[in-house]
Structure 1
C-alpha cells in the first residue's frame, strides 16, 4: 500500500516539474519512525532531483528545496508539505494511511504484502542460479560452512519471493588432490568397520593422519598423486572408493541441512566437470590464450600488458586439472543447462581473487554472460567454539544452541506447555545463530558470543521468535475479533500509526536487500518492528476493548504478524507459534 501514497506524491511532483511521475517513485522514501514524536511519512532528497537533471545541479540547495515545497499543494492524501534540510517532507492524511495500510490484511493475500511494489519494476527478473554451502566431501560439516549455507539460503529465498525462478545449487568439493591423499591414506589408515559406524568422523581421522604422514614422507605424497591420477583416468577401484566417500557425505549433509531448514534443487560437484575441464583447456589453446610457464604448468595470462605479470594456472605440469579449470567448465555447463540470467556464488572473502580470474577468463573466451555472474563474499566467524573448545563441527554448534535454548526455556516462567520442546528449542536456537550472523555487513569478520546470541530481550533471533509466538497467541485467543471491515479512525493512536508507518518501509527494505544482497536491512527492520509490537502489546489491548476497537486492533496485530512471519522466512528462519 506504500505504492498508493508514493504514486499520489509522485503525480503531484510530476505536475509541478512537468515530468513523468515514474521518475519520482524510486526517489521517495518512507521516513523511519520514532517512538515519542510524530514524523513526516515520506521524504524526497533534492540531491536526487539534481543528479537526475530535473533540477539544476548548481545553486543553493536549500533555496531549491523551499521553492519546490512552495509549488506543491496539500490535498486529501497529503495534508502537510514542508522543507527540511535538503529534503521535502510529506505528511499523509492519518486516517487514509490507516485505511490503506490495514486493507491488505483482511483477506487471504496478506502474505503478499509489499511484494508487488512498483519499486521492484527495475529489478532483473528471470532465472537466478545460487551456488552456496559447497562443503568438501569426506569431511564433517565445519562451523565455517554455516555462513555460506545461511547467506546463500537467504539470497535464494529473497530472489524467489521477488518473483525470480531460483535454482539452488550445492557444488560439492568432491575432486582434487585432497582425494588423492584420502584415497592413499584410507588404504593405510582406514577401517571399513569404523567407516560403517561413524563414517565422516572416521574419514576426518584418516585425513588428519595421512596429512601428518605426508608432511615428512615423500612416498605418501607420491601415493596421493598416483591415486588422484587414477581418479582422473577413471580407474575402477579408485572411482569405487571415491563414490563411497561421496554418497556417505551427501547422506550426512542432508541431515544437517534438514535441521537448518535448507534444501537444494541440484547437488553438483567438481567431479561432474573433470572431462569438460579438458575441453576448456583445448578451447583456451585454440584461442591462443594458453601459455606454458617456466615450471611446465599451463597458464592464462591475465595481465593488462600481456607480460605474464599476472597469470592463472589451469593445468599442473602432470596434466591434471585444478579447481579453477573445473569451475570454468562448471560455469559454461550451467549456462547451457539452465539458461540462467544471473549466477551468484556465495563463498568466503579469501576466494575473491579466484572469482575475479574466473569471470575474466570466461569473458576472454567470449562468454559475455560472465558480466551477470557475481561473487558474494563474507568474513570469518571468530570464537565459535563448543564447551569442549575443540574443532567445531556444525552439528556440535546446532546441538549446543538447542541445548542452551532448552535450558533457557525451562528456566522461564512464561514458557508454554509444548508438544515438542526440543523441536521448538532447535528452531529458536537456529534463528539465534542466523540473526547473530546477519546483523552486520557480511564482509566483516565477527566474534561469536553464545550468551549474547541467546538473550530473549536484546536484538536477537530469540526476541524475533518470542514476539512472533506472542502475536500468534494473541490472535488465537481473540479469534472472535476478526472482521471483514474495520474502522480506521480507531487506530489513530501514536502506537498504531508507528507500526503502520514502519510497515510502509517493508518494500524499500526488500528492494535494498535485493540490490546489495545484504540481510542486515531486513534484520534491522524486523527487530524494530518487534520493539514497536512490544509497545503496542502494552498500550493497545484487544481483550476487554469494545467490539469495534478490538476488531481494529486485531487487524493491526494480524498485519504485523504477517509481515514478521514473511520476513523471518526470507531470512531462512522457521517461525514458532509457541515458546
Structure 2
C-alpha cells in the first residue's frame, strides 16, 4: 500500500482536486506529533473563498476514515493523518521480506557519479578509535548512494606526506632497527614515533633534523624515499586488515603524496587568474569578502599546505571522475579549512564548487584527554574490535545456555 497515495485519494474525493494535485500537496510533517501525513488547506482559500482553518474543518468532516488510519485531526489550516502503526509495520516488513537486499534501492542516481573521501588515517601510525567515525560514516554514505544507483568512487586520502615522516626517519635511525620493524610492524613505528617526541622535548635539535629529512624526501633522496615507502607498505597492510574486519572497501588509495607533482600547475593557475597575493613572504588567497581568514597556499619557505593539496585533489577528481558530488568526511574542527578552499575553487571560476560537500563529525576523546598518537594516548581500533567480538560471543553463548 502506498499510504501517501491513499491519503491523496481521500482528499481528492473530498475537495474535487485532481489526484496529482492532492498528492503534490500532501506533506510529511517534521514533527511526529502532527501525524504521518498532513494536508495544508491554504491553496483552497481562493477556490472556496473561506479561511483555511474553516476549509480544513469542512474537508475533514467529509472524509471517510479508512481502516489504515488511526486518527484524523484538524490543527489550524492543516488536516493531519495518523496511520495505524501495526498496519504500517506489516506493510513495510512484508515489502522488506519480498524485496530482500533490493529493498530501498532505486535508479535515481543512474548516470551520475559521487566521490566519497573517507577514513584517511596517517601512514606509519596505528589505526585507532579516532578514525572510526570517518570510516564507518563514509562507508554508510557510500552504500546509500550505491543503493540509489550512483556510480560511487570511495577514496582514502591517506596522510602519507609531511614532516612527521622526517621525525619517523630520525626515530628509526636513533632507536629502531630493521628487525624490530619487520617483527612488530606498525606497533614498532608507533613506539619510536612516541620516543621521538619524548626526546625532542629535551633536545629540540631533533626537530631540525626531522625537517631536514623531510626536505630530502621532497628533493627525491633515495634513502629517505626508500624508508618512507617501507613505512607506507607496512601501514597499508595493517590498515587493510582492520578494514576487512569492518567490512569497508575503497576504490582508490590516493593520499597527499599522490598530488606532489600536480600542485605546481594549480599554483600557476591561481597566479594566472590573479587570485594569489603575497603576504609577509607567503602566498595567500584573500577571503575578506566572505569574512574569513585568508587561505594560505604557499608558506614563506616555499612549502605547500593542506589547502594546496586539497584544491589540487578536487581539480584532479573533477577531471578524473567528472563527479556530480564530492563528499569529504573530516572532524568538525576543520569546518573553516573546507569553507576556505571551497571558496578558492569558486574564485577560480569553477561552478562545480557547489558540488563539494564537507560532512563533519565530532571528535572522540578519552577520560585522560584528547587522543594523541605522539603521546601514545590512543585506543587501537583492532584491539577494540577484538574486545567487542569477544564480548558479543560471550553474550551469545550465555543466551544459548539459558
Change (3 A) 1:383 1:404: farther
Partner residue of 2:38? 44
Alignment of 1:328 with 2:326, yes or no, is no
Shift of 1:62: 3.7
Is 2:163–2:214's contact at 8 Å kept on the other side of the alignment?
yes
Counterpart pick for 1:302 among 273, 287, 294: 287
Deviation of the 1:91 alpha carbon: 6.8
Aligned to 1:312: 295
Map of 1:427 onto structure 2: none
Which runs of structure 2 are paired with 1:332-411 in the superposition (5 Å)? 332-383=315-366, 391-411=378-398
Counterpart Cα distance in 1 of 2:97 and 2:268: 62
1:577 is aligned to none
Distance 1:137 1:339 in 2: 28
Q: Is the 8 A contact 2:8 2:26 kept in 1?
A: no
Structure 2 alignment gaps of length 5 or more: 369-375
Q: 1:202: which partner in 2?
A: 188
The 1:375–1:33 alpha-carbon spacing in structure 2 relative to 1, beyond 3 Å, is closer
Q: Counterpart in 2 of 1:140?
A: 126
Are residues 406 and 168 of structure 1, via their aligned partners in 2, closer, same or farther at CA, if it must alter by over 3 Å?
Answer: same
Tell which deviates more after alignment, 132-141 or 279-288: 279-288
Contact 2:115 2:326 in 1 (8 A): yes
CA distance in 1 between partners of 2:30 and 2:346 (Å):
42
> What is the CA deviation profile of residues 466-508 of structure 1, one whole-angstrom value per residue up to 9, with x for unaligned ones?
xxxxxxxxxxxxxxxxxxxxxxxxxxxxxxxxxxxxxxxxxxx
Pick from 235, 247, 251 the counterpart of residue 249 of structure 1. Answer: 235
Which residue does the alignment assign to 2:271?
A: 285
- CA shift digits 1:42-70 (9 cap, x unpaired): 42153xx65xx6668xx966434213324
What RMSD over aligned residues (CA atoms) do the two structures have, in Å? 3.6
Give distance in 2, aligned partners of 1:397 and 1:55: 61
Distance 1:359 1:33 in 2: 36
Other-structure match for 1:68 = 59
SS in 1 for 2:300: coil
TM-score calculated relative to the size of structure 2: 0.84
For these two proteins, the number of residue pairs brought into alignment is: 391
Note if contact 1:76-1:93 (Cα within 8 Å) is conserved in structure 2: no
Alpha-carbon separation, structure 2, partners of 1:220 and 1:213: 8
- The correspondence of residues 433-452 of structure 1 with structure 2, limited to 5 A, is none
Judge conservation of contact 1:345–1:375 (CA < 8 Å) in 2. yes
What residue number does 2:373 align with?
none
What is the rounded CA distance, in whole Å, between the counterparts of 2:84 and 2:285 in structure 1? 63
How many angstroms apart in 1 are the aligned matches of 2:367 and 2:52?
50
CA–CA distance in 1 between the matches of 2:55 and 2:104? 33
- Determine whether 1:191 maps to 2:180: no
Q: Which residue of the other structure, out of 5, 8, 24, is the alignment partner of 2:6?
A: 8
C-alpha distance 242-62 of structure 1, shift in aligned 2 (>3 A): same
**In 1, distance between residues paired with 2:130 and 2:87?**
49
1:549-570, CA deviations, whole angstroms, 9 ceiling, x for partnerless residues? xxxxxxxxxxxxxxxxxxxxxx
Per the alignment, do residues 254 and 55 of structure 1 end up closer, same or farther by CA in structure 2, a change over 3 Å counting? farther
Q: 1:279 to 1:314 in 2, by over 3 A?
A: same
Deviations 1:496-531 (A, max 9, x none): xxxxxxxxxxxxxxxxxxxxxxxxxxxxxxxxxxxx
- Residue 251 of structure 1 deviates from its aligned partner by 0.5
Check whether the contact 2:29–2:38 (CA below 8 A) recurs between aligned residues.
no
Provide the C-alpha distance between the structure 2 equivalents of 1:22 and 1:190, rounded to a whole number of angstroms. 73
Question: How many Å separate the matches in 1 of 2:309 and 2:97?
Answer: 52
Alignment of structure 1 residues 110-121 onto 2, 5 Å: 110-116=100-106
SS in 2 for 1:318: coil
**What stretches of structure 1 of length at least 5 have no aligned partner?**
416-579
